[in-house]
Amino acid sequence: MPFAEPSQHPLREGNRRMARIAYLQARELLDSRGNPTVEVDVFLEDGAHGRAMVPSGASTGRHEVLELRDGDSTRYFGRGTRKAIQNVVREIAPALLGMEANDQQAVDRMMIALDGTRSKSRLGANAILGVSVAVARAAAQSVRVPLYRALGGQKAQRLPVPMVNILSGGVHGGGNFDLQDFMVIPLRARCFAEALEDAVAVYRSMKGVLQKRGIDLAGVADEGGYAPRLASNEAGFDLMTEAIEHAGLEPGGEAAIAVDAAASQFYENGSYLLASEGKSFQTEEWIERLEGWVRRYPVTCIEDGLAEEDWEGWRRLTSRLGEQCRLVGDDLFVTQADRLLRGVAEGAANAILVKMNQVGTLTETLDVVRLAEMHGYATVVSARSGETEDDTLADLAVATGAPFIKIGSITRSERLAKYNRLLRIEEELGPQAAYALP
């Protein structure tokens, strides 16, 4: 079923016109949680090919664009993606055939118009993003340049600093504690490869620290981090500090801690509820708690410290911690220009997480990155908790010169596909390669 007309296939047509979209194909495959997702193949008339796989979040923001699921409970618990795939083949393919693949904006605008909804809910953001990225990859192959170069031009030569997941809680860890991610930010490295080496050392060292303290290691979480059951959320900061020390790094000087609270997940009726501790905080008390952690531990980055609707809280948090800390909006901004502009106007956050599938096209993602740069917000290019072996994220980070990338832990190949791609890019750039020192 998911095939275009045979006559439209470039290889059979033998059509020599360059870089026009000739053929699209889509299929349902599985992501790293075993959930169905969308893969798209795009072929151009010159024979170039691009493929993309779409990731999927678990702690999704309320304002993200819509991931279209079949809702047919007889397949994959209703999470099938056959409707999205049909939309690629029946609606998007006919609209895009013959368009220039290297005019990414025109391609993306065409899909946005065809969908016609704000949330991309008619065709599905998973269908649209799969096509958007596959077209970009095909266009890059057509001119025989790496994707980061095709998207970012000659100035695309800076590798991002990795924020690497070590401990997982929240919905990624099965509710073992409430903060979603404890990450390490390597500080002493002078290139990406060295940074990754330090992050791996901290990950390994955490295992020893957990064992020494007799903390049960039930397994790994969605992003490959350890998911221990902890007596308190604060214990995560102690463990991180100790693991950094045990790895032979100086906490604060050679490695820092980043935390993704994913606070929208535990915000109810105006309160922050730490279920694992049976405690509840008003916004002001919760901000004080965050401030205390920044004072006592080498924390330099807090993502979604507050909930996506707590704008007033965000404004206060930013005025209190914005000088010392990167305050990253993930669910807060959902990679969307209008929410970022509201943040700029209200003084909320000073950095933005960039997830392509929160907005649904490559063009809109690049626009938000430019907007963030214009307003002095740092960008953190980010994977989702449900990922695939697609490594586009690495190229996106280098193309945009993003100072940070967040992919998850250094285990599990859906994460390593991106880390390894960055290692290859650094090698390929050779002496040209720059590194975004933290």
Q: Residue 422 touches which of ligand PGA, Zn ion, none (CB < 5 to 8 A by kind)?
A: none
Determine which one of 39, 67, 120, 355 is catalytic.
355
Nearer to Zn ion, 67 or 426 (CB): 67
Active site (annotated) includes residue 223: yes
Q: Residue 385 touches which of ligand PGA, Zn ion, none (CB < 5 to 8 A by kind)?
A: ligand PGA
Active site (annotated) includes residue 277: no
Give least dist CB 330 to ligand PGA, A: 5
Give least dist CB 126 to Zn ion, A: 19
- Position of minimal CB gap to ligand PGA: 57
Residue 260 binds Zn ion (CB under 5 A): yes
Nearer to ligand PGA, 225 or 298 (CB): 225
- Position of minimal CB gap to Zn ion: 330
Q: What is the 3-state secondary structure (H, E, C) of the chain?
A: CCCCCHHHCHHHHCCCCCCEEEEEEEEEEECCCCCEEEEEEEEECCCCEEEEECCECCCCCCCCCCCCCCCCCCCHHHCCCHHHHHHHHHHHHHHHCCCECCCHHHHHHHHHHHHCCCCCCCCCHHHHHHHHHHHHHHHHHHCCCCHHHHHHHHHCCEECEEEEEEEECHHHHCCCCCCCEEEEEECCCCCHHHHHHHHHHHHHHHHHHHHHCCCCCCCECCCCCECCCCCCCHHHHHHHHHHHHHCCCCECCCEEEEEECCHHHHEECCEEEECCCCEEEEHHHHHHHHHHHHHHCCEEEEECCCCCCCHHHHHHHHHHHCCCCEEEECCCCCCCHHHHHHHHHHCCCCEEEECHHHHCCHHHHHHHHHHHHHCCCEEEEECCCECCCCCHHHHHHHHHCCCEEEEECCCCHHHHHHHHHHHHHHHHHHHHCEECCC
Nearer to ligand PGA, 43 or 419 (CB): 419
Nearer to Zn ion, 56 or 142 (CB): 56
Residue 330 binds Zn ion (CB under 5 A): yes
Nearer to Zn ion, 331 or 390 (CB): 331
Determine which one of 39, 64, 67, 223 is catalytic.
223
Q: Residue 382 touches which of Zn ion, ligand PGA, none (CB < 5 to 8 A by kind)?
A: ligand PGA
Which residues of the chain form contacts with ligand PGA (CB under 6 A)? 57-60, 180, 260, 262, 330, 382, 384-385
Give least dist CB 330 to Zn ion, A: 4
Chain positions contacting Zn ion, by CB under 5 A: 260, 330
Active site members: 223, 355
